[in-house]
Structure 1
């Protein structure tokens, strides 16, 4: 069976704010159709890493490559068109628009035909379990459904890689299980997935590999089993006493 090819890669990535490094010297290589979890204590630099990989922040140093092509200095909308999409910790749908119209905005990133965009948007809405709310204004959705809408909007851009920033944050146990099922479906359909998540059970269950950040640097990387038994990781979360 052929080895999966490297799809997305960051090399020596760093971001400095004033005199402080939020991220320093981080290397990550992501294979096609892989699920990678990114964990770390609060302030470890996880979202800063995502922001640099998706063009919302320019790195102070280092590069980001998609299929071996340098995308480091592209704007976020250009990176999205090339196939890297993401969600945000704080969900910000177009609150005055319906669920359908929100997802159609994502589809129209690549599809110019409005009727085709509407049809595809309905498929993505069904995928995340929001068909019953298709005509509801996004502002009327409770948090769990707004998180689903955020995923649908990201998937609607037709990405190869989707980066999910705490899509299970604030969800109850049932909603978390349902979101995990959605992520498994996306993976089964061929998407490469990066997860930032504070729900350790969910992240370790879903991820094939886990990258641990601490104070902006990569502390460890390995399978969930390797990472969860790594003494440095345990100390970073629990202290060394």
Structure 2
């Protein structure tokens, strides 16, 4: 599927996407979430999904990452300059994994790390899986963790034992360590103090400066004001807005 000419430079194009959930334990009750979602994202911009709680912001982010299937519509991802976009909404699991490895990075609200793996290796792992030498990957991971003020004494410990803010700093470092051209951020600073929020703002600005396209949810108003280049009010796509 080819992007329309005016949107040929978009790295991500969401087209007429709808999503609902079927409650199988409630006699198949269908709960609509969003409908007719459509937007484009271009390199070097931070697009913020805005709107009140419950309108579908997180659901859209999860569909773009391939965690949620879509009822209809397309999510066109351009792997690289000059390449044809791929439809992540096609339901092809191999395509989803391919795009995650090379194109779409993600920082969720919560760290889901393998038990008993040291924080340093949790952060370095995305680089190692892409072929970077383990020692170099660990050096780069340590640099990010130092930047986020994580005590070095914690580097060799599994994050399961960490506080919420410490876990989130590991999560952020892991998400920012690669050079994915698209980065999804789901409230990345929710558990952070002011000093570390400022660090993350700087990291986001650096990504934007290198041409990364960011799609995010930021309930932290100072962070949103500092990084957003454009906002999309998801209320207009909410399937529940008339309720």
Is residue 9 of structure 2 the alignment partner of residue 5 of structure 1? yes
Q: Secondary structure at the match of 1:81?
A: helix
Of residues 25, 32, 38, the one that matches 2:43 is 32
Indicate how the Cα distance of structure 1 residues 127 and 22 shifts in structure 2: closer, same or farther if over 3 A, else same: same
Q: CA offset at residue 25 of structure 1?
A: 0.8
Decide whether the 8 Å contact of 2:109 with 2:168 is kept in 1: no
Q: 1:229 maps to which residue?
A: none
Residues 1-241 of structure 1 correspond to what in structure 2 (within 5 A)? 5-18=9-22, 19-67=30-78, 68-72=85-89, 73-75=91-93, 76-111=96-131, 113-130=133-150, 132=152, 133-214=154-235, 216-217=237-238
- Give the drift of 1:189: 3.5
Tell me the CA shift for residue 197 of structure 1. Answer: 1.4
Residue 108 of structure 1: SS of its match in structure 2? helix
Q: More deviation in 173-182 or 84-93?
A: 173-182
- What secondary structure is seen at the aligned counterpart in 2 of 1:48? helix
In structure 2, how many angstroms separate the alpha carbons of the residues matched to 1:195 and 1:71? Answer: 18
Q: Distance in 1 between matches of 2:221 and 2:212?
A: 21
Return closer, same or farther for 1:121/1:4 CA change in 2, 3 Å cut-off: farther
Determine if contact 2:148/2:196 at 8 Å carries over to the other structure: no
**Change in CA separation of 1:57 and 1:63 when aligned onto 2, cut-off 3 Å:** same
Deviation at 1:22, TM superposition (A): 1.0
Which stretch shifts more, 169-178 or 159-168? 169-178
Q: Secondary structure at the match of 2:52?
A: coil
CA contact (8 A) 1:148 1:179 kept: no
TM-score (norm 1): 0.79
Structure with greater contact order relative to length (CA < 8 Å, sep ≥ 6): 2
The verdict on how the C-alpha distance between 1:182 and 1:126 changes in structure 2, with shifts beyond 3 A counting, is same
Stretch moving more, 44-53 or 145-154: 145-154
TM-score by length of 2: 0.78
Structure 1 vs Structure 2 CA RMSD: 2.6
Deviation at 1:4, TM superposition (A): 9.7
Paired residues of 2:50 and 2:231 also in contact (CA < 8 A): yes
Report the Cα offset of residue 24 of structure 1: 0.9
Superposed displacement of residue 108, structure 1: 2.4
- TM-fit CA distance, 1:217: 3.0
Unpaired runs of 5+ in structure 2?
1-6, 23-29, 79-84
